[in-house]
Chains A and B, each alone.
Chain A
Amino acid sequence: MRDRINDFALKLANVNGTGSASANGLLMQAIFRMGIPVSGKNLFPSNIQGLPTWYEIRVNKNGYTARSLDYDLMVAMNSQTYARDIKEVREGGYLLYDSSWPLDPALLRDDVHFLGVPYAQLCNDNFRDPRERILMKNIAYAGSLVAALQVDMEIVTALLDEKFAGKKKLSESNTRALRLGYDYARDHFDLPLPFHLEKMGANHDKILIDGNTAIALGCVYAGATVAAWYPITPSTSAMDAFKVFCEKYRKDPETGQNNYIIIQAEDELAAIGMVIGAAWNGARAFTSTAGPGISLMNELLGLAYYAEVPAVIIDVERVGPSTGMPTRTQQGDLLECAYASHGDTKHILLFPSNPAECFEFAPVAFDLAERFQTPVFLMSDLDIGMNDWVVPRLQWNDAYQPDRGRVLSLEEIENLPKFRRYTGEDENQITPRTLPGVHPKASYFTRGSGHNKFGGYTEVPDEYQEVMDRLLKKHKAAAKFVPAPIVQRRPEATFGVLTLGGCDPAVREALDLLAELGAVGDFMRVRGFPFDDAVESFLAEHEICFVIEQNRDAQLRSLLTLETNVPKDKLRSILIYGGFPLSARHVVDGILQEFGLERKPVFAAANRPAGEVPMEE
């Protein structure tokens, strides 16, 4: 068999809290530095220590780095999950396990190569400290993988040196453990494995970053000064990163004072309240949260919408109603965010697909919030937010100036006969606002109660409707300003595919595979709501459109049927919402099934997707 270079997937099964994350991250980073397209997906439990956790690495020379379900190699380091992990290896694949203890013969498979390395034994022989013995097992299996997959040892050593710079003892232990695993594997197995790595040059203009870090950086660059939040998985690391960047970039070098403030609120009701208060005063303010937080924010989002106060809400989506599965990914907050709050409300949503777009869209979110004087949701998810992605280097244009929207200056106020808050609309139905502390003539009473266009209290039907009608038109006008959809057309296409956010790589890969099978489709990824005309015409162009998203209720499809002219029966849904990132196989299978076609044998080999294997109690 010819060797397969830079095209395989491996999965690492670990116990949460044992230090595996750093070993797995090290491998992924080393592959990235070898210039090879790679992705790493952390499938972790809502737990600090003890429950099973997995990490998947996919390497693909052609740049297909969506989650793969075809595992060529399983690193089985968790005896609790041996049974399911062994089942998941593809036919002819490999399984690396800790042979310090015998493997239950009932678990063996004839079609899988079992590679046993006595990691626990090796570490017990070489390390004294009990904690160290556990931790070093991870670096030891990383060492075996370096040998098995031909990871560049120089790069791995350099990474360890960077990581443990100044910590001599740790550095020595890690290097020793790495060597233990490496040497044992080299001495006992026929290596490298038939699928392995070779250096490429694909990553010279790329970086490795997670979406929460990128979004936080985007908020710094956008000029956000007030951040209010309540800790919640999976968005917490966004605010953590914002703090780190602010400490780096926002401390006045002369006074040592902070040009920012971060307030950990008592709950999400308060967090959004703080954002609204700050934005009412003219600051760029934001909160980061997840679905449960949005549920709590609903009340005041209505105030911001109706009283026309800017707000930026970062929603890093997780799974489910109620607590759901906090450490798993989903796109389940679309409808909740699009129409958040009671009464008639509609909001602006942005859908970044990866960390690069998280960074790019953050200033867009603030610009739109201030331009349209309304809440704007930046909709990320756990997969985008917490996994490291290989993306193009972030770009910044120093000519950027924040769009503060229609805010009257002191001079403009002085020249005004009288200020009337909700009058003087422009072509986008936006009326000028004033900020507190500028001029007594500009004062007005911002209220969430019924108001007329002058800002005065009203219970008069016509006056109420007049304001609400303008708000509707204002929301529609925002369609031209949200990031345009990404479209990829193919000649001979017979159907369209619409998707959003982090589904992007899996859907694109699937369309390439389908085209090879003769099922040719056009691609559109929407990047904002309200939908612009391009979405309407894409829908009109195709007889059948598949809408691919990660939630049960087809929320993007619902939004399309509600907010465009598309006939409902034209839209077919492919829905994956178990909590793990989308794979091309999900999409290919879904579309082929709709067309009554068989799937390509390559997909038949592996077992059920990981997310569908029931957990043993």
Chain B
Amino acid sequence: MPSIVKPVATHPSFQRNDLGLTIRDYEGTMSTLCAGCGHDSITAAITRAFWEVATPPHMVAKLSGIGCSSKTPAYFVNGAHGLNSAHGRMPPIATGANAANRELVYIGISGDGDSLSIGLGHMCHAIRRNVRMVYVIENNGVYGLTKGQFSASADVGSKSKRGDPNRMAPIDSVMLGLSIGATFIARSFSGDKEQLVPILKAAISHRGFALIDVISPCVTFNDHDGSTKSYLYTRQHELKATETDFVPPASEILAQIGQNGAVNVTMHDGSMVRFKGVPPNYDPTDRGKVMEYLEEHQGKGEVVTGLLYLDESVPDLHEMNKTTDIALTKVPYQKLCPGAAALDRLQEDFR
């Protein structure tokens, strides 16, 4: 599958963002995934989110592991460096990249095989370190590239294309994230760009690890009757817990705060996330309440979506390690090397 370069012709009517760029400037190469793949919709939402936030394309770093989902970083933000690594290993690679240069915006794309099986440990530890990055799990409950094996997110009773039911309990990234201190947790549906774009924009602003689990039906291996990750099933069972507005730092629409019982969370960079339509007794900043709500509704077979939990108070990797404000890669060598005189003094201790 060679990568197919898209023509970059733009139409004068295309809107431009704060950097004067059109959405075409945030696109990548042509997707080689199956027609109708949920992942392509997520790619479109990511493209849109970066364009709307107006991140300079070269300040984005795209990372992925292996699998259908991990191919997608090639399909958005062409001007960004990408690193397609090994199966499950994206979180540590992103952690190292972030450690070296905290000035870039990191987005990691993975799948349920990548994140919930082979790389489960890595994802958990990236969450614990609160590595500042947008972390998308394109969750289809199935291994696509190896043709249809169940993944660890497959629900009990969900049927494979050949009709075999899955008997093992799923690993739910949202509940897992809540239990190990994730600071930003969302679930969405690839078919719902309206919901996904503001979540992605909020994730870009989040100071820490932003976990976004997106149900993304596999049209080839997991879109049949009996699957719980199909388009039909998800549409029938989706329960939108929250609706999210993302308010960039510069926009002065603070007057709207507080209406209709909305919950507002100010992000570290001064932007704001507005939770609208939040059900009674649901507070997206209260971990216990979120867990309770999810337990109740997921127990009924509902797929709860929205920006489900947010905590802006936890220090990220760099704050925990008290690293310098600039990228470590920008610290001049003279500041890093103690020099010959210091070495002479030090060696008095080695006598």
**What residues make up the interface of A, taking CB atoms closer than 8 Å to B?**
32-33, 207-209, 217, 220-223, 225-226, 228, 248-250, 252, 255-263, 265-267, 269-271, 273-283, 285, 299-300, 303, 307, 393-398, 400-402, 434-449, 456-459
Contact = CB atoms under 8 A, between A and B. Distances in A.
27 contacts: A225-B336, A259-B323, A259-B324, A259-B331, A262-B321, A269-B92, A273-B89, A276-B85, A277-B94, A277-B96, A277-B98, A278-B99, A281-B61, A281-B100, A281-B104, A282-B100, A437-B104, A439-B58, A440-B57, A443-B79, A443-B80, A443-B81, A445-B74, A447-B82, A447-B83, A447-B84, A448-B84
Contacts of B318: 261
B121 A283 contact: no
Given A257-B324, A259-B336, A440-B79, A207 B89 contact: no
A178 B322 CA distance: 45
B351 interface: yes
A149 B343 CA distance: 34
Contact of A444 (B82, B98, B337): B82
B286 interface: no
Interface string B326-351: 01110101011111101110110011
Contact of A207 (B63, B342, B350): B350
B78 interface: yes
Contacts of A394: 343, 347
A252 B343 CA distance: 18
A396 B340 CA distance: 5
Contacts of A459: 1
B337 A436 contact: no
A435 to B, nearest CB: 7
B89 A402 contact: no
B101 interface: yes
Contacts, number: 235
Contacts of A222: 337
A250 B262 CA distance: 46
Nearest to B129: A263
A115 to B, nearest CB: 31
B82 A445 contact: yes
B228 interface: no
Given A270-B122, A277-B96, A440-B58, A207 B351 contact: yes
Contact of B81 (A226, A300, A444): A444
B95 A257 contact: no
Nearest to A256: B322
B59 interface: yes
A257 B335 CA distance: 12
Chain B interface SS verdict (over half): helix
B325 interface: yes
Contacts of B78: 440, 443
A259 B335 contact: yes
Given A223-B337, A457-B3, A445 B84 contact: yes
Nearest to A393: B347
A263 B58 contact: no
A266 B97 CA distance: 16
A285 B96 contact: yes
A307 B323 CA distance: 28
Given A263-B95, A300-B89, 6 more contacts: A226-B99, A252-B335, A261-B99, A266-B125, A280-B83, A303-B86
Interface of B: 1-3, 56-59, 61, 63, 73-74, 78-86, 89, 91-101, 103-104, 121-122, 124-125, 129, 317-318, 321-325, 327-329, 331, 333, 335-340, 342-344, 346-347, 350-351
Given A257-B323, A269-B89, A445-B82, A402 B97 contact: no
Nearest to A283: B100
Given A269-B89, A394-B343, A278 B125 contact: no
Contacts of A32: 351
A162 to B, nearest CB: 10
A36 to B, nearest CB: 14
B328 A436 contact: no
Contact of B322 (A258, A393, A398, A446): A258
Contacts of A274: 92-93, 95-96, 99
Given A226-B96, A396-B339, A261 B328 contact: yes
A276 B98 CA distance: 11
Interface centre among A222, A252, A259, A400, by most B CB within 10 Å?
Answer: A259
A209 B346 CA distance: 12
B85 A273 contact: yes
Given A277-B83, A277-B95, A457 B1 contact: yes
A442 B346 CA distance: 43
B83 A283 contact: no
A268 to B, nearest CB: 10
Nearest to B21: A440
A33 B351 contact: yes
Contact of A208 (B125, B323, B351): B351
Contacts of A271: 92
A261 B81 CA distance: 23
B325 A257 contact: yes
A503 to B, nearest CB: 24
Contacts of B57: 440, 443
A207 B96 CA distance: 35
B58 A277 contact: no
A256 to B, nearest CB: 7
Nearest to A274: B96
B73 A397 contact: no
Contacts of B81: 280, 434-437, 442-446
Nearest to A270: B92
Contacts of B317: 261, 263
Given A226-B96, A436-B80, A446-B84, A299 B89 contact: yes
B333 A402 contact: yes
